[in-house]
Structure 1
Amino acid sequence: MCLIVFAWRPGHPTPLVVAANRDEFYARPTLPLAAWEEAADVYAGRDLEAGGTWLGIAPGGRFAALTNVRDPGQPVGLRSRGELVAGFLRGREAPLEYLHHVQRRASEYSGFNLLVGDARQLCYFNPRIGLPRELEPGVHGLSNAALDTPWPKLQRARAALGETLAAPNAESLLALLADTHQPEDERLPETGVGLATERLLSSVFIASQNYGTRASTALIVQADGRREIVERSFGPCGAHLGEVRLLV
Structure 2
Amino acid sequence: MCISLISTAHPDYPFILLNNRDEFLNRPTARADWWESLNQHILGGRDLQRQIRGTWLAITRDGRIANLTNFRDEGVEVSRNKSRGGLVNSYVTTPPYPDPHDESFIRSLVDDFGIQDVGGFTLLFGRLRKPKDGKVTGLGVISNRTESSADTERICTERDQTNGLSNSHYGDSSWPKIVHGEQLLNQAIKTSVSRRDDEDQFIESLFDILSVDTLPRPQDNEPWQSYTRQLRNSIFIPPFGGEDVEKKPADKIAAANGTSTPDQSTVTVGEGAYGTQRQTVILVSTEGEVTFIERSLHDGKDVEPEFSDRDRRFEFKIDGWEH
TM-score by length of 2: 0.68
Q: Counterparts of 1:2 and 1:77 in 2: how far apart (Å)?
A: 23
| Range with greater deviation from structure 2 (124-133 or 38-47) | 124-133
Contact 2:78 2:117 in 1 (8 A): no
The answer for the alignment partner of 1:42 in structure 2 is: 42
SS at match of 2:144: coil
The answer for the alignment partner of 2:207 in structure 1 is: 174
The answer for the alignment partner of 1:118 in structure 2 is: 127
Contact 1:152 1:183 in 2 (8 A): no
Contact 1:96 1:134 in 2 (8 A): no
Contact 1:21 1:216 in 2 (8 A): yes
Contact 1:21 1:215 in 2 (8 A): yes
SS at match of 1:227: strand
The answer for the alignment partner of 1:198 in structure 2 is: 229
Q: Counterparts of 2:78 and 2:228 in 1: how far apart (Å)?
A: 20
Where do 5+ consecutive residues of structure 2 fail to align?
130-136, 194-198, 219-223, 242-272, 317-323
Contact 1:129 1:146 in 2 (8 A): no
Tell me how many residue pairs correspond in the alignment.
Answer: 240
The answer for the alignment partner of 2:170 in structure 1 is: 147
1:164 aligns with 2:197: no
SS at match of 2:145: coil
State the Cα deviation string for residues 124-167 of structure 1 (Å, max 9, x = none): 11232662122233210101112231210111111111112244
Contact 2:65 2:92 in 1 (8 A): yes
The answer for the alignment partner of 2:31 in structure 1 is: 32
Give the CA deviation at 1:239.
Answer: 3.8
1:87 aligns with 2:75: no
Contact 2:117 2:144 in 1 (8 A): no
Q: Counterparts of 1:183 and 1:156 in 2: how far apart (Å)?
A: 16
Distance 1:184 1:32, change over 3 A: closer
* Structure 2 letter corresponding to 1:96: D
* Structure 1 letter corresponding to 2:183: A
Q: What aligned pairs does 1:1-248 form with structure 2 within 5 A after superposition?
A: 2-8=2-8, 12-38=11-37, 39-50=39-50, 51-71=53-73, 73-78=75-80, 79-91=82-94, 92-93=96-97, 94-97=100-103, 98-104=105-111, 105-120=114-129, 121=137, 122-128=139-145, 131-135=151-155, 136-137=157-158, 138-150=161-173, 151-166=175-190, 167=193, 169-182=202-215, 194-207=225-238, 208-209=240-241, 210-235=273-298, 239=304, 242-248=310-316
Q: Counterparts of 1:3 and 1:147 in 2: how far apart (Å)?
A: 11
Q: Counterparts of 1:230 and 1:146 in 2: how far apart (Å)?
A: 26
Give the CA deviation at 1:81.
Answer: 0.6
Give the CA deviation at 1:233.
Answer: 1.1
Distance 1:42 1:129, change over 3 A: closer
* Bigger strand fraction: 1
* Structure 2 letter corresponding to 1:127: N
Percentage of identical aligned residues: 31
SS at match of 1:101: helix
Contact 1:116 1:124 in 2 (8 A): yes
- State the Cα RMSD in Å: 2.6
SS at match of 2:40: strand
Distance 1:114 1:95, change over 3 A: farther
Q: Counterparts of 1:73 and 1:154 in 2: how far apart (Å)?
A: 25
Q: Counterparts of 2:106 and 2:71 in 1: how far apart (Å)?
A: 17
Give the CA deviation at 1:41.
Answer: 1.6
The structure with the larger Rg is: 2
Q: Counterparts of 1:72 and 1:108 in 2: how far apart (Å)?
A: 12
Contact 1:100 1:132 in 2 (8 A): no
Q: Counterparts of 2:101 and 2:90 in 1: how far apart (Å)?
A: 11
Contact 1:65 1:115 in 2 (8 A): yes
Give the CA deviation at 1:198.
Answer: 1.2
Contact 1:213 1:238 in 2 (8 A): no
